[in-house]
Amino acid sequence: MRITRAIMAVVVVLSAGVLAGAAHAASPFTVVNGSIQPATGTPRPPSGTHATLWHNASYASVPVRGAGRLVVGAIGDHCDGWPTLRVRVAGEVIGEITVTSAADYGGYPVGEQLPEGRHDVRIELVNDRYTGACDRNAHLAYVRVQPPPAVDATFTFAVVPDTQEEVLSAGDTRLRQRVDWLVDQRATLDLRFVTHSGDVVNYDSPGHVQYERARAALRPLETAGMPYTLAVGNHDTQAAGPDGELRSPAGQLLRDTTVFNRYFTAGRFGAVRGQFEAGKVDNAYATYTAGGVRWLVLSLELWPRRAAVAWAKAVVAAHPRHNVVIVTHHYLESDASIGQSAGYGSTSPRYLFDNLVARYPNIRFVFSGHTGTAASRVDTGVHGNRVHSFLQTFHSRRTNPVRLVEIDTAADSLRTWIYAPHTDEEFPAHERTYAGLGLVR
């Protein structure tokens, strides 16, 4: 295109993408330091033309409408490499693409999903090259918005309550049976994530037998590729002695989770993206996508240290487009009030509410155990968002309850219920339905 460049040096802007003297009014592009040429690639664009960019000062502009991801149709001239295009929307760079065909106007997706509306797109050539043997150019056939794929708006996640009573004897199969049931029901429930609100075991012993049983019982989740997390309860620390009796110094031993972290790791959980302390899952977060929206599950240590809360605040602030689910062992009391005591830890549930839960508009749920049976409440954060909190503890010696939470992102609603597969038992008193969740999308 070097001859054409010389001829066109006086052409700065081609109004509506029309090259002077040529009948290409159907072109959608407006070109600066470029031209509109007859299309040479396939499939042939409706205008019969493409916009040619031949210089690092070349760019083409085009308005598009719709919601979805931008797709650029282009071919290129290879010259010691293919042309690279930078794409802007409303002046902001959304990404770059490299054109890799000289004949096929293949669609090159770029950037994140765009909301419904008009979008002013600008495409720039950024790696022009010319030698005596070749000339690197790009030719644009179209820019369109590709609608997002249809999304199944309804899915489920599960919250397992305190299981410390289920690992005391080798013959107790309730924990494993619950896990097997969840895996078996994965498709029926569209189950996407499993979390546990703490007290996985009752106490440690020289042979770590309760940890052995719990790890074996949870392994089917890993085999099935089902992401999960476990909150650390007081019985999962060295503060719990034989028969669950409190050992001393309790505050110091509460933070000794060496054995717990030997048996349960971020690698086993499968979706962990960050941890407060290296090699420990006491404070960790996992992410996943379901119902067309993003989720972040934040597990926090019992009565957390202030430094752990500060870390959690930074995590939530860094993920403003994720809907945050907090799981910690003690938060609600049996009467559904927020706990006021720090126990033998560092901060209270009320401190956690005031300094984390209430402060961020994308925090949606808090799940806890430790006390009582089951309860729920709804609070309003400082940004006007509603936070739904649920207690599930049970400490059952005969069955194996699990809280199931069904989210409908299209309806912006949830339904939650508790079911025990061991006895095929329902708990209708604890069913809840809420609308107007205000999910971040």
Domains of the chain: 2-146 (2.60.120.260), 154-435 (3.60.21.10)
Q: 313-345 burial by CB neighbour count: b if 16+ within 10 A, else e?
A: eebbeebeebbbbbbbbbbbbeeeebbeebbbb
- Dmax (CA) of the chain: 92
Dihedral sign of CA atoms 312, 314, 315, 317 in order: positive
Q: How many residues are there in the chain?
A: 441
Predicted confidence (pLDDT) per residue in 263-317, tens digit? 999 999 999 999 999 999 999 999 999 999 999 999 999 999 999 999 999 999 9
Give the pair of three-digit tokens for residue 23.
């009948």
State pLDDT tens for residues 28-39.
999 999 999 999
Amino acid at 364: R
Residues of the chain above pLDDT 90, percent? 90
Six-digit token string for 294: 């993003």
| CA–CA gap between residue 177 and residue 254 (Å, rounded) | 30
Tell me, what's the pLDDT at 150? 81
Tell me the CA end-to-end span of the chain in Å, nearest whole number.
Answer: 45
Looking at the predicted structure, is the pLDDT value of residue 3 above 60?
no
Q: Are 107 and 186 in contact (CB under 8 A)?
A: no
The average pLDDT across 14-33 equals: 62
- Stated pTM of the model: 0.73
Express each pLDDT in 222-276 by its tens digit. Answer: 999 999 999 999 999 999 999 889 999 999 999 999 999 999 999 999 999 999 9
- Rounded to a whole number of angstroms, the CA Rg of the chain reads 29
Rounded distance between C-alpha atoms, residue 21 and residue 33, angstroms = 17
Decide: helix, strand or coil at residue 227.
Answer: coil
Round to whole Å and give the CA distance between 332 and 407.
22
Name residue 50's beta-bridge partners.
Answer: 37
Residue 5 scores a pLDDT above 80: no
Neighbouring C-beta atoms of residue 294, cutoff 10 Å: 18
Angle at 219 between CA 218 and CA 220, to 5 degrees: 95
Query: What integer is the mean pLDDT of 80-92?
Result: 96
Q: What is the DSSP string of 428-440?
A: GGG-EEEE-----
Question: Mean pLDDT, to the nearest integer, of 136-150?
Answer: 92
- HSE, CB side, 13 Å, CA atoms: give it for residue 243: 1
pLDDT of residue 277: 98
Question: Does the pLDDT value for residue 385 go beyond 60?
Answer: yes
Q: Tell me the per-residue pLDDT of 156-206, one tens digit each, with 9 for 90 and over.
A: 999 999 999 999 999 999 999 999 999 999 999 999 999 999 999 999 999
**pLDDT level of residue 21 (50, 70, 90 thresholds):** very low
| CB contact at 8 A, 287 and 322 | yes
> Do the Cβ atoms of 139 and 58 come closer than 8 Å?
no
- pLDDT exceeds cutoff 90 at 13: no
Rounded Cα gap, residues 370 and 331, in angstroms: 8
**Residue-level pLDDT at 184:** 98
pLDDT digit string, tens, across residues 94-132: 999 999 999 999 899 999 989 899 999 999 999 999 998
DSSP 359: T
* Distance (Å) of CA 54 to CA 1, 23, 33, 51: 7, 21, 8, 10
Give the pLDDT band of residue 62 (cuts 50, 70, 90). very high
pLDDT digits (tens, 9 = 90+) for 390-425: 999 999 999 999 999 999 999 999 999 999 999 999
Q: Indicate whether 22 pLDDT > 80.
A: no
Residue 9 has pLDDT above 80, yes or no: no
Q: For 342-379, what is each residue's pLDDT tens digit?
A: 999 999 999 999 999 999 999 999 999 999 999 999 99
Residue 158 has a pLDDT of: 98
Gap between the Cα atoms of 144 and 71, Å rounded = 5
